[in-house]
Every structure is written in structure tokens, then in C-alpha cells.
Amino acid sequence: MPSVAPQQVARTPFTADMRTQEQVWVRAALKGDRTAFMSIVEAYQRPVFNLCYRMLGDGVEAEDAAQETFIRAYTKLSTYNPGHKFSSWLFSIASHYCIDRIRQRRYHMVSWDELPPWQSPATNEPEPEQAALAREARDRLHQLLNSLQPDYRAAVILRYWHDMPYEEIAETLDTTVSAIKSRLFRARQMMAETARQADKDGKGSEEDE
């Protein structure tokens, strides 16, 4: 059964009020209030799932990773330092879990080439040309992301999808700002090269035909 891409929804940015509310929930959850913790889950399920999905490239694996992230957050909530952003702490758990998971794939000798390609939701109705083009662009972008090593990929995802400044990405990925600058630069350079190569190969095969 091929993996199916999950539903894509518009981003909803976090407001200052939400951040204040989040601290109230965290304090209550620390006292053992499960309902407060589930409110945190409700607020963060989408961004955490999105991060896992972009990292792993599969909806089923992303669901499992996102759930594991929240279980880890629940069990390690006492280690959270309220002086830092809660979202960074949560994304840190998710990123590290996904990076480990990708490394485990390598341990099982499954190469990137063998992984199933990114799949978009299948429909029986014929797609308008514009939608098909958009889907093609999205698949291409995901393939570019897939070509990166996991810690580079995490930096790119946190930068673009989660609008994080360099300092926050560094905190989330437990590294320095200069390392993040370097990762983003290398990632962009590698993806540009991959795209250029793909274009060249595409043109070459068209000429052969």
C-alpha cells in the first residue's frame, strides 16, 4: 500500500495570548492535570505532525512520531525549563526523534533510492492542469528535502515551515547559531545542485526521445 500524503491546511500563527495560555496549561500539566496536557496537544498537534511529516516523508510514520513526541513530552515535562519557549522544547523532542528514526532506517540498510516516492492524495477525478503542476512542484520539493541529511533537513523545515530565527533553530537542534548558518547554506547549495542536475537529466532524456 503506498503511503498517502496527509491533508494540507493553512498555517495559523501563535499569538501572544496563546503563549500565555500555554504556560498556564504547562503549569497545570506539571501538577498532573491530564486535561491541561491534552489542551497542549490540541494546540501543537498540527505543527508537530507537520515537522514529523516533512522529516520522515510518510503520513503513517509521522503520526507515530508525533504521538511519540507527545508521550515523551508528557513523561519528561518536569525537565522543561519555563525560561525557554515551550514550542522549541517540543520541537526539539520531535526533531531529535525523527533524526534518530531516519538514522535507524540507514541502519536497516534501506537507501534513499529504495524509499517510496512522496505521494500526493490520490483522487479518481481528473485534476485541473494547474493543480497537477502544483502537485508536481510539491513532490519535487519533497524529493529535494529527502536528498538532505537529517540534521540539515530539520534546519530547513524549522526555518521555512516554523518561521524560526537562527537562534531558536540552534536551541531546538541543540547546536550553535554558526552551525545553523552553515547547515542552511550547505542545504541550499546541495538542493540547488540537485535541482540543476535533475533539470539537466530531464533535458537530456527529452533530447534522447
Partner 1 sequence: MEKEVKRMNESLEKREQDQQNRPERRTGQAETGEDAMRHDSYIEQISLWLDNELSPAEASQLQAHLAQCPVCRQSQQAMVHLDGMFRQAASLMAAPLPGFGQRLEIRLAHYHPASRRRLLFGMSVLLLGTLALALLGGLLAGLVLFTTGSSLLDVALIAEGLENLFQFINAAAAWFNLGSLFFKASLLTMGQPLFWVCALAVLAAVGLWLRLLNSLNRRPAATVELLI
- Residues forming the site for partner 1 (CB under 8 A): 1, 3, 5-11, 34, 38, 41-42, 45-47, 49-50, 53-54, 58-64, 66-67, 70-71, 74-75, 101, 105, 108, 110, 114-116, 137-138, 140-141, 144, 156, 159-161, 166, 181-182, 184-185, 188-189, 191-192, 195-196
Nearer to partner 1, 75 or 208 (CB): 75
Nearer to partner 1, 147 or 209 (CB): 147
CB of 123 to partner 1, least distance (A): 17
Rounded Cα–Cα distance for residues 168 and 154 (Å)? 12
* Residue 172: partners with Cβ closer than 8 Å, 6 or more residues away: 88, 91, 92, 95, 158, 164
Nearer to partner 1, 83 or 201 (CB): 201
Within 13 A of 53's CA, how many CA atoms are on the CB side? 19
Nearer to partner 1, 58 or 88 (CB): 58
Q: Residue 93: what residue type?
A: I
* Residue 44: partners with Cβ closer than 8 Å, 6 or more residues away: 70, 87, 90
